Amino acid sequence: MPSIFSYQSAEVDWCEGNFEHSTVIAEYYNTVNGTTLFSLLLLTPLNFLVLEGAGRSFADTKLSLLLAGIFSMYFHMTLSYVGQLLDELSILWTLAVAYSFWYPRVYFPRCIKSRKHFFWLSGVTTVISTLMSFIKPAFNAYVLNCIAFHLLYLTWCELKKCNDKRVHRMAAAMVVWWVLAISSWISDRWLCGLWQAINFPYFHSFWHVLIAMSLLYCCPLVIYFDVNYEMPSFKPKLGYWPSDSWPVVVPYVALEEPHKQC
Ligand SMILES: CCCCCCCC/C=C\CCCCCCCC(=O)N[C@@H](CO)[C@H](O)/C=C/CCCCCCCCCCCCC
Ligand SMILES: [Ca+2]
Ligand SMILES: [Zn+2]
């Protein structure tokens, strides 16, 4: 019986052929583009600096994003059962951390009276989901992807209340990247025979880059809404570095000076 750490002991094997470019790395392009995912995920916490400047710390969110990137690379390198679980559980816990810290109070269920209570609710749900993850890891990835639909719904609710064109533009970019990402993920899962027939089984590696792009737009947006709710004396502003008109840009959120209270 193979060890849970051994190569190819995972329940899932992505469309890309194994060990075609290296004897150590099972899925070469998925791992390499996992590195891109990792690098882009490293860029997202730069947005948190503005909040740290305003006296809040987000070490947990940054750490969990970092771990998600590292475990994704380990999973594709080994295709081991442990790699698969680490990959999925790190995403689950990143989502749990993000929900605990960033979920706007106005959307709390009625029975939840404070962020501390919501924190406990997220914690208990995540621990139960973690235990259930061991039952059928291949199914977990579908459940994790469904959480994006809830994020889409929340974005929609927020956009209805917001007239700032920059916010609508950033949300549109986030959704476009996500649609491209999820299409790549699904097509790798469901149409692998077709991609192998045309010798192009690389859609999962595209997913890595595309979902990271979506998160790059998602982070400033989440912080924008959070500042509006939690720090009403500050005015958040969305922008693009180095400039709006460049073809390749890094989205960011900035805080304008607090309004003077007289
Ligand atoms: C201000 C901070 C807010 C941050 C909120 C964002 C929360 C980010 C949560 C998770 C990070 C995801 C990192 C992606 C790692 C992908 C690794 C991977 O590819 N794993 C696959 C196997 O290699 C696995 O099959 C994938 C499973 C599904 C992952 C689903 C992730 C959902 C992330 C939701 C992103 C929302 C983007 C906006 C949607 C409108
Ligand atoms: Ca494979
Ligand atoms: Zn992957």
Close Cβ partners of 189 (under 8 Å, ≥ 6 residues apart) = none
Q: Is the pLDDT of residue 259 over 60?
A: no
Atom of ligand 1 nearest to the CA of 142: 28
- The DSSP-derived string for 158-192 is HHHT---HHHHHHHHHHHHHHHHHHHHHHHHHH-H
**What's the total number of domains in the chain?**
1
- Residue 76 annotated as part of some ligand binding site: yes
Classify residue 177: in a domain, yes or no.
Answer: yes
Q: For residues 17 and 142, is the Cβ–Cβ distance under 8 A?
A: no
Question: Side chain identity at 188, as an amino acid letter?
Answer: D
ipTM above 0.90, yes or no: yes
What is the gyration radius of the CA atoms in the chain, in angstroms? 20
- CATH code at 80? 1.20.1070
Q: Is the pLDDT of residue 250 over 60?
A: yes
Q: Which of the ligands is closest to the CA of residue 13?
A: 2
**Separation of alpha carbons 26 and 88, rounded Å:** 18
Classify residue 233: in a domain, yes or no.
Answer: yes
Between the alpha carbon of residue 132 and those of residues 5, 85, 92, 214, 224, the distances in Å are 20, 11, 12, 28, 34
Report the separation in Å between the CA atom of 224 and the middle of ligand 3, taken as the mean of its atom positions. 29
**Separation of alpha carbons 250 and 42, rounded Å:** 12
Classify residue 223: in a domain, yes or no.
Answer: yes
Share of the chain above pLDDT 70, in %: 92
Which domain, by its residues, includes 101?
Answer: 28-256
| Residue pLDDT, tens place only, 190-207 | 999 999 999 999 999 999
- Token pair in block for residue 187: 């097509």
Classify residue 8: in a domain, yes or no.
Answer: no
| Residue 171 CB less than 6 A away from ligand 1 | no
Classify residue 19: in a domain, yes or no.
Answer: no
Share of the chain above pLDDT 90, in %: 63
Between the alpha carbon of residue 150 and those of residues 38, 171, 234, the distances in Å are 24, 14, 27
For 65-100, b/e burial (b = at least 16 CB within 10 A) is bbbbbebbbbbbbbbbbbbbbbbbbbbbbbbbbbbb
Res 231: pLDDT:
86
| Residue 33 CB less than 6 A away from ligand 1 | no
| Residue pLDDT, tens place only, 12-66 | 999 999 999 999 999 999 998 777 777 777 677 676 766 666 666 677 777 888 8
Nearest CA to ligand 1 atom 5: 98
Residue 156: which pLDDT band, with cuts at 50, 70 and 90? very high
**φ, ψ dihedrals at 210, nearest 5°:** -70, -40
Report the separation in Å between the CA atom of 207 and the middle of ligand 3, taken as the mean of its atom positions. 7
Question: Side chain identity at 2, as an amino acid letter?
Answer: P
| Residue 91 CB less than 6 A away from ligand 1 | yes
- Token pair in block for residue 204: 């999962």
Mean pLDDT of the chain: 89
Q: What is the mean pLDDT of residues 137-148?
A: 92
| Residue pLDDT, tens place only, 90-114 | 999 999 999 998 899 999 999 998 9
Classify residue 3: in a domain, yes or no.
Answer: no
Classify residue 134: in a domain, yes or no.
Answer: yes
Which of 187, 182, 235, 219 is CA-nearest to residue 54? 235
Q: For residues 90 and 71, is the Cβ–Cβ distance under 8 A?
A: yes
Nearest CA to ligand 1 atom 26: 141
Whole-prediction pTM: 0.92
Res 5: pLDDT:
93
Q: Is the pLDDT of residue 262 over 50?
A: no
Nearest CA to ligand 1 atom 11: 91
